[in-house]
Amino acid sequence: MAARILDGNKIRDDILAELAGQVRELKSAGVTPGLVAVLVGANPASQIYVRNKVKADLPAETTTDQLLALVEKLNRRDDVDGILVQLPLPPGVDSKRILMAVDPAKDVDGFHPLNVGQLVSGRPRVVPCTPAGIIEILLRNQIPLQGARAVVIGRSDIVGKPVALLLLHHHATVTICHSKTRDLASVAREADILVAAIGKPAFVTGDFIKPGATVIDVGTNRLTTEDEVRWVFRDAAKPLENLVAKGQVLVGDVHPEDVKEKAGAYTPVPGGVGPLTIAMLMSNTVQGARARRGVGVPAGRQ
């Protein structure tokens, strides 16, 4: 049977439609949720990600102190409900200090240590966007989590660790793998749910995938040479045409052909996890606005 495609664009649209009602409620209370993205230096990927949001663009030479001053100003502005500091920051900037400076109530990325602690203790206030989106994909597609064997490849603070915690909180049995894991393919093959957050194009090949498993591909890698595209897409014509037209082809961490043959369900790249990240950013901003301004929040949660 052909593997089921877990359509991230559809779920993003559903979530945004659900949020529209909450935004109307906020607006009727005189509140327009405000999100500011802080971008330092020219990073094309970040530029695409934050398109259509309010941006504070700063030159690459910006210092830690200048950035701290901006964050403090945004913390004080009542019309700002969410502050997103786009990572990575330039090497000269102390990223940890900047993330610590963001008001936890406006931390739409969930990277402040206070919010990380809330997540670890199983009482999350704000959940990092990509991991939250992955859980939405699984739940809204009725993928059983309780008792499932889940394997997460990648242990970053922004994807691997938080998604592993969320799966654990949904009662999956979770294994976290990384670059030092021995016999990675055989560990991955135990997974009913396999999450790949590695940053290596088509790294997860068919021998990593238990037949029928659900595979979530977080990777967003760009192939720029004909050899790479031929290898990954097995000489298919369309990706080669895309390479010529755009100079690059997007591919996840999972082999896009192997996954169709082995998995029961999978997220495509593009159109899988990526759209959810943006939807959850919007959701975190709206929830933040509701909590901070006391609109539509049950008593005791403010």
Are 273 and 137 in contact by the 8 Å Cβ rule? The answer is yes
**Closest distance of CB 292 from ligand NAP, Å:** 25
Shortest spacing between CB 280 and ligand NAP, in angstroms: 9
Distances 166 to 159, 201, 290 between C-alpha atoms, Å: 11, 25, 23
Q: Which among 253, 252, 227 has a CA at the least distance from the CA of 240?
A: 227
The number of residues making up the chain comes to 302
Name the phi and psi angles at 224, rounded to 5.
Answer: -125, -5
Question: How far apart are CB 6 and ligand NAP at their closest, in Å?
Answer: 13
CA dihedral of residues 147, 148, 154, 158 (deg, nearest 10): -60
For residue 59, whether the previous peptide bond is cis, meaning omega lies within 30 degrees of 0, is no
Set 81, 106, 107, 109: catalytic member = 109
CB of 104 or CB of 219, closer to ligand NAP: 219
**Smallest distance, Å, CB 302 to ligand NAP?**
30
- CA gap 119, 131 in Å, rounded: 11
- 81, 86, 107, 217: the catalytic one is 86
Q: In this structure, are residues 219 and 200 in contact, taking their beta carbons and an 8 Å threshold?
A: yes
Decide whether 111 or 233 has the Cβ nearer to ligand NAP.
111
C-alpha to C-alpha distance for 158 and 136, rounded to whole angstroms: 16
Instruction: State in angstroms the smallest separation of the CB of 72 from ligand NAP.
Output: 27
Whether 227 is a known active-site residue: answer no
Shortest reach from residue 267's CB to ligand NAP, in Å:
9
Nearest to ligand NAP of 155, 170 (CB atom)? 155
| CB nearer ligand NAP, residue 33 or residue 275 | 275
- Among 7, 47, 53, 103, the one annotated catalytic: 53
Burial class (CB in 10 A: 0-12, 13-18, 19+), 75: middle
- What are the residues binding ligand NAP (CB under 6 A)? 130, 153-156, 158-160, 177-181, 184, 197-200, 218-221, 273-274, 277
Is 86 annotated in the active site? yes
The closest residue (CB) to ligand NAP is: 156
The CA–CA distances, whole Å, from 139 to 37, 143, 207 equal 29, 6, 26
What is the rounded CA–CA span in Å between residue 276 and residue 131?
9
Does the annotation count 246 as an active-site position? no
Transcribe 45-105 into DSSP letters.
HHHHHTTTSEEEEE-TT--HHHHHHHHHHHHH-TT--EEEEPSSPPTTS-HHHHHHHS-GG
User: Would you say 63 or 179 has its CB closer to ligand NAP?
Assistant: 179
Cα–Cα distance between 58 and 61 in angstroms, integer?
8
Q: Give the residue with the Cβ less far from ligand NAP, 254 or 263.
A: 254
Which positions are annotated as active-site residues?
A: 53, 86, 109
